Each structure stands twice: as structure tokens, then as C-alpha cells.
Structure 1
Amino acid sequence: MSGIKGVLFDKDGTLFDFAATWEVWAVGFLERMTGNAEDAAHLGAQIGFDYAAQRFSPDSLVIAGTPGEVAQALMPFLPGASFQDVLNILNEEAEMAPQVEAIPLVPFLNDLRARGLRLGVATNDAEAPARAHLKSAGVTELFDFIAGFDSGHGAKPDPGQLLAFARMFSIAPEAVVMVGDSTHDLIAGRAAGMRCVGVLTGLAERHDLEPLSEVVLDDVGGLTDWIAARS
């Protein structure tokens, strides 16, 4: 099949709709940390979240950053809180965030597996919440590889997670497709020597992703035909 042997997916904004999931998370986290709307709005502004409108800015650190980076950015505005406490709360709230699938994932992933492809997830979320999200969608067992920023391979845009996937299954990087909704995903894919596909279920615009992708799809549902056309 066109030499493609594996597919790696980003999670948020790729397998799951970013706004539907993380806007709810942001409100819950900010209210838990502050206890009132005024302070929640101020804290949200530090990570590119408009609390009143319940909307992220396209350049928000949350979109492609790790929970550790988000916690670090918030520390100056949370006197008395330790970094580890903030990180723990971020991850706890993330595990509880509602997951809205970009498309029905079970039939989509089963179809890819039936084609003999190895499947993986490479996310800048922590691994535990990532697994909780995949479990909630009933798809954990459909992935051969799941890595978060804390899994020992680094975080995107560095290619460590992606190369770990290729090594695990002895697949040449050029035989892997990296699918993501952010430039971080695609920069990592290019750095790893993989084929790159962008999707528009995050906050990035088509013009942001096109320079780094072979194709930009409306959602991951178009991936099956894209791969089949290259067989």
C-alpha cells in the first residue's frame, strides 16, 4: 500500500475536536484554581483563553504546548502554589474533560487496521489523561503505541515520539504518516522524515498547515481514501 505501513495521530484537535473538549476543560480548571469569575478571566488570559467568550486564541500555549509548559506559564500568577500541584490539577481536569470525536473513531480505526497499518498516538498531553480519553472513546486497544510528553520520548515539535514509534515496529520513518492539526505536529513529522497530513479540526487554518503538509483534510475521515489513492 504505497509503502505506507504506519499512521501516527495527534490526539487533541485531530482524533477529538479541540474546541469542544478543551474549552470545557479550561473553564473547569480556571474556576477550580481561582473560585471567582474575575480571577478566572485574568488567569485564562495568561494562556490565551477568553473566559467570558469561552474560546481559545489561535496562538494559545494550550493548543500545542505540554501541561508542564502550561503550568510553568501560570506559576507567576498563582502565588503559594507549587509547580507539581498545578501540574497535577491540570492533568486531573484533563482526564475529566469531555471528549467529542472528530468522526466516529471505532469504524475508522478498524478500517485502517484491516489494511495492515500500525497505528499510534503522539500527543503533548500527559500519557495518563491521553489514555483516559482514548478509553472513553473505546479505542485504546486499536492503537499499537500511545505516547505523551511524559512518556520518555520528549514532546513535539521534537520528533522523539515519532521516531520511537518507527523504531518499535521497525518501520522506516518515510513509511509513516503523521496526522495533526497544529504546526507542532507537522514540524515534528518533517523532522522525523515522515509524510505529513494536516486536519482542520483544531484551531489552525488551512494556510497555516499547507506549507508543512502533503494535504490538508477537513478531518481524519478523509485519510482512508488519501492512503488508498496511493496504493
Structure 2
Amino acid sequence: MTTRIKAVLFDKDGTLIDFQRTWGPTFYTLIAELADGDDGIMGRLAEVSGYYLHEQRFAPDSIMVAGSNDDVADAYAQILGLTDPAELAADINARIGDMSLPHITPFDDLMPVLDALSALGLALGIATNDAEASARAQLSALGIDARFTQILGFDSGYGAKPDPGMILGFCREAKLEPRDVVMVGDSLHDLHAGRAAGVRTLGVTTGTVGHEVLTPHANHVAASLTQALDWITANAAA
């Protein structure tokens, strides 16, 4: 018999909040500041990020959809003529969370779904490839940071997805076996990390990746958080 789900670990961007509406305008502000008004440099930063500058949107295969800010630091440093990519990455990570707050856009059903999960008595956590400080700033701005027992970013000491470190770290801290946990996310990074950690995986098509891409890597795929809740509810009672 399948054991019942006792905890839900969420990705953040594209899963709880609208990735394009939150990070599209935020990233425009970031690269405008980095380029210091140079349109040519802005264009090069956008291109290496997989970002449509004039539309303020990311391409579906952008490294920023599932990656971390560190993933483009080397390329950015080269374009900007900087010698220390790690210092640049630290600078980006330190300010991009607050920079995003005017644009943060949660999905409409986020609050009711979190209420329902809490009513089920499930432990909730976050595992994001965003920086931890950025994630905490966003969740605090939404008034939901206290709902999560753990908020883990790529810089929290467990590594980034698709490696399973954050998920295994969550399981250890929650004193749960991986089979008791479901990882909910909108990217293959989320699902691959979940599979590697031995947890159940629930894909959502609320990001930039479609059902047909997620399905081979997930126990279930849902079109919204509300539909994801239905599956979690059924498996929390299994």
C-alpha cells in the first residue's frame, strides 16, 4: 500500500508565483542597472540570459527559468569586464529579492490551497533555485513565510536542483522518510531532484513547461495549484 503524504515541498517561481509577471520586469531593472545605461550591454546581458528585452519576458528554455543567478554570473562578468564572477553573483543575489517585491505576483489560488494543506496537517517547505534571502523576502511580502517550516535556496548549503540535496535536507530536518514527501514544481529540475531524492513528484504546468514534457518525470501533473491540491488530498489520506 502507498504510504500517505505527510509533507509538501514546493518550488517557488512558476509554482507559487507567476514567473514571467514577477521576474520579467525585475530582470529588466537588474540588467539596466548592471549595464549603466548602455543599450548594447543590456542587449548582450539579455541574450545570454534567454531574455526578450523589449517584451520583458524569458524564453521557455532560458537558463533563468530553472537555474540560479550564479549560472549566468561568469557570462555576465565577461560582458561587464569584471574579474570576479563570484562577487558579481553575490551582488545580484543580495539585491534582486527586494528588487522583485513591487512585481511579485502570486497565483490566484495560492492562499486557499495553502489554507487547505494546513487544515490537512501537512508540513510545508520551499526548495527554490532562488537565493534563500530573496525567497524569504518574497514570501514575507506575501505574508506567508511563517507557513513553511523550511525555506531553502540554492545557497542554503544543500546545493541547487536538479541535485537532491535540498529535498534530502528537508526530509532530515522534518524527520520524515522521502516516501512521505511530495515535491511540487513546474520544471524538470524540480522533478529530477525529487526523483533523485526518492520523494513523490507532482508537476504543475503553471510555469513555462507543458504537460507532455513533465509527465514522463512525475507521479502526476496538474494544470493548477487547485488541481494539485486534489491529488495531494487524495494521497494524504492513502
Cα contact 1:177–1:194 (8 A) shared by 2: yes
Distance between the aligned counterparts of 1:199 and 1:50, measured in 2?
24
Number of the residue aligned with 2:71:
69
1:166 aligns with 2:171: yes
SS in 1 for 2:15: coil
Q: CA RMSD in A?
A: 1.6
Shift of 1:17: 0.7
1:206-225 alignment, distance < 5 Å = 206-225=211-230
Shift of 1:50: 1.5
1:20 aligns with 2:25: no
Structure 2 unmatched ranges of 5 or more = none
1:151-230 alignment, distance < 5 Å = 151-230=156-235
After superposition, give the CA deviation of every residue in 1:25-65 in whole Å (9 maximum; x if it has no partner): 11111111111333212210011111122221111111111
SS in 1 for 2:203: strand
SS in 2 for 1:178: strand
1:96 aligns with 2:99: yes
After superposition, give the CA deviation of every residue in 1:46-105 in whole Å (9 maximum; x if it has no partner): 111111222211111111111111212322211036324422442212332121112343
After superposition, give the CA deviation of every residue in 1:116-144 in whole Å (9 maximum; x if it has no partner): 10100000111000000101111000001
SS in 2 for 1:196: strand
Distance between the aligned counterparts of 2:75 and 2:226, measured in 1?
35
Q: Which amino acid aligns with 2:97?
A: A
Number of the residue aligned with 1:29:
30
Distance between the aligned counterparts of 1:157 and 1:209, measured in 2?
14
SS in 1 for 2:202: strand
Shift of 1:3: 1.0
TM-score, length basis structure 2: 0.91
Distance between the aligned counterparts of 1:143 and 1:214, measured in 2?
23
- How many percent identity over aligned positions? 43
Structure 1 unmatched ranges of 5 or more = none
TM-score, length basis structure 1: 0.94
Distance between the aligned counterparts of 2:131 and 2:193, measured in 1?
17
Tell me which moved more, 116-125 or 29-38. 29-38
4+ residue segments displaced more than 4 Å:
none
Cα contact 1:10–1:123 (8 A) shared by 2: yes
